[in-house]
Amino acid sequence: MSENYPALLVIVPLLSAFAIYACSWLHKKSCLPLAITGLSISFLISIGLLIKVLHRGPFSYHLGGWTPPWGIAYELDQINALVLLAVTTVALVNLIATGKEIERLFADRKGAFYALYLLFVVGLLGIVVTGDLFNLYVLLEIASITGYSLIAMGESARAPISSLNYVFMGTIGACFYLLGVGYMYIMTGSLNMADVRGLLPPLYHSSAILAAFIFCLVGVMIKMGFFPLHFWLPNAYTYAPSPAASLIAPLMTKVMAYVMIRLMVSVFSPSFVFSSISASRGIVWLACLAIIIGAVMALSQRDIRRMLTYIIVSEIGYIVGGAWLGNATAMSGAILHILNDALMTLCVFLAVGAVSRKLGRLYIEDLAGLFKKMPFTMAGFVAGGISIIGVPPTCGFFSKWYLILGAIEANNYGFVAALIISSLINVALFFRIIETAFMGNPHTAAIGHEWTSGIQEVSLTTLVPLLVVTTGLVILGIFSGVVVTQVIRPGLTGVF
């Protein structure tokens, strides 16, 4: 049984997705329990996989017993086991937290929503676990297409348009990636990552391989919303229905950032990435711009969810910059930040989703006096904000620590400055909201929501997951030392 964990990880939610859709014709009530069960199994398997990898070291699993390079292999190492765990955790917690909201929003279409939700997760899990370049493309499209559809299901009239915009950009990104893979296939005759890695070194000077790498990189960067290729992102995530936003926003960009790191370390080698092509300095500068411009754009937003989407643009800058600084410390920081940012983003999006369920609109001034009405939700929001600012002992501090340390080691003080400045802007961003929610009086006549006296929290099914995530921020922070020394660093052995 445990031998087949890698396959089950992906297949269980895949089959559940079909089962749910069938179920929505027969017995609508069992859709949500089915979806939760499917993701729970996936979640448990991802824990099992992480333990197994830590125990035995990296291993590969051959789908259907076909050996690579002909068959498709799933590769597991410490780092992607960690990312898998992050994906399943976020997907599961978000589903539990927003289940009620989904039932309310999509009473007649919920079969479709749950099925898309699970297929999206299947896509992401597959992307992370696969060891095959073309298989990655297929799964990337699965995740993207389901993502487009989830976003298009938003209530706002602008949802379909932003989704369409995302479709264009996403498709261009996917094409770039596919082109790159094509070039690599032409040159090496293989699609298996490990195999390609072995075949590439003699070809490092070929311009076709250079082109392949650049195509793949650009494709992935479009998908992760890396500045200046981020224009699709704010609209898509703002107008998505809130249960979908809190799934896609924490995961999609982060998984794509992981794919970039995967390409850099497992397909190409750092010696090629950092020395053969002299792009690293330029990309780190772009990352600095991403960080600063993302933060400044966030500052100019009135809608809180839109503000958070620009923070994502900025956070992606952290990860890309960390990955391209070219040392183990910064790379560890980037990988740690993938996990941390997934959790932080989930935390703030869940809180904001809960607030929007009450208020409908999410302009900063609408939150006046909200600490009196929704103290626990706001506490969760504050915790997420503090983590994004990077205050210890929340996890955001520790990834920032490794990133700054790595930048100092690489003598790149521009990146240090960018990180510090964006932290300072984040202080302004979050305390602007906290101040409004703390000082003002609940006055929401403008948006048609009348508060009655006393505390009016959202239901416990939302609150408990939110508080779990909040605690998770601190726990992950406190144990980040363990994560880095026991999991991430061993995963990077032989790389740097």
Partner 1 sequence: MASQYSLLPLFAVLTSLCAVPFIIFARSPNTREAVSFLAAGLKFAIVLSMLPAVLEGQKLVFTIVEVIPGAPLQLRVDAFGMLFALVSSSLWILTTAYSIGYMRGLSEHAQTRYFCFFALALSATIGVAFSANLLTLYLFYEMLSLATYPLVTHHQDEDARISGRKYLTYILGTSIGLVLPAMVYVYHLTGNLEFSVFGVLAHKASGPVLAAVLFCFIFGFAKAAIMPFHAWLPAAMVAPTPVSALLHAVAVVKVGVFSIARILLFTFGIRLLESFHLGTLVAYTASFTIIVASLIALSQDELKRRLAFSTISQLSYIVLGVSLLTPKGICGGLIHIAMHAFGKITLFFCAGAIFVATGKKYISEMAGIGRTMPVTMLCFFFGALSVIGLPPCGGFISKWYLALGTLQSQQMVFLIVLLSSSLLNAMYFLPIVYHAFFMGTVSGEASENLIREAPTWCLVPIVATALGSILLFFFPGIFLRLAALALQ
Query: Which spans of this chain sit near partner 1 (rule: CB under 8 A)?
Result: 386, 389-393, 398, 401, 404-405, 408-409, 416, 420, 423-424, 427, 431, 435, 438-439, 477-482, 485
Integer Cα distance of 335 and 341 in angstroms: 10
Residue number with CB closer to partner 1 (80 or 423): 423
Residue 424 beta carbon to partner 1: minimum distance, rounded to whole angstroms: 6
Residue number with CB closer to partner 1 (246 or 426): 426
Residue 428 beta carbon to partner 1: minimum distance, rounded to whole angstroms: 8
Residue 307 beta carbon to partner 1: minimum distance, rounded to whole angstroms: 18
Residue 392 beta carbon to partner 1: minimum distance, rounded to whole angstroms: 4
Integer Cα distance of 193 and 135 in angstroms: 10
Residue 427 beta carbon to partner 1: minimum distance, rounded to whole angstroms: 5
Residue number with CB closer to partner 1 (461 or 486): 486
> 97, 91, 106: which is closest to 16 by C-alpha?
91
**Structure tokens belonging to residue 391:** 């205050």
Residue 331 beta carbon to partner 1: minimum distance, rounded to whole angstroms: 16
Residue number with CB closer to partner 1 (138 or 405): 405
Residue 434 beta carbon to partner 1: minimum distance, rounded to whole angstroms: 8
| Helix, coil or strand: residue 361 | coil
> 451, 471, 460, 448: which is closest to 370 by C-alpha?
451
Integer Cα distance of 345 and 347 in angstroms: 5
Residue number with CB closer to partner 1 (206 or 485): 485
CA 250 to chain centre: 4
Residue 376 beta carbon to partner 1: minimum distance, rounded to whole angstroms: 12
Residue type, 358: K
Residue number with CB closer to partner 1 (103 or 409): 409
Query: Are the C-beta atoms of 436 and 445 separated by less than 8 Å?
Result: no
Residue number with CB closer to partner 1 (354 or 404): 404
Integer Cα distance of 260 and 143 in angstroms: 16
> 125, 135, 127: which is closest to 49 by C-alpha?
125
Residue number with CB closer to partner 1 (424 or 460): 424
Residue number with CB closer to partner 1 (431 or 496): 431
Residue number with CB closer to partner 1 (149 or 423): 423
Residue 369 beta carbon to partner 1: minimum distance, rounded to whole angstroms: 9
Residue type, 263: L
Cα separations (Å) of 322 from 145, 152, 280, 339, 419? 29, 33, 11, 14, 11
Q: Is the peptide bond before 201 cis (omega within 30 degrees of 0)?
A: no
| Helix, coil or strand: residue 437 | helix
Residue 353 beta carbon to partner 1: minimum distance, rounded to whole angstroms: 24
Question: Left, alpha or beta for 330 (phi > 0: left; psi -120 to 50: alpha)?
Answer: alpha
DSSP string, 213-234: HHHHHHHHHHHHT-TTS-THHH
Integer Cα distance of 86 and 108 in angstroms: 31
In angstroms, the first-to-last Cα distance of the chain is 35
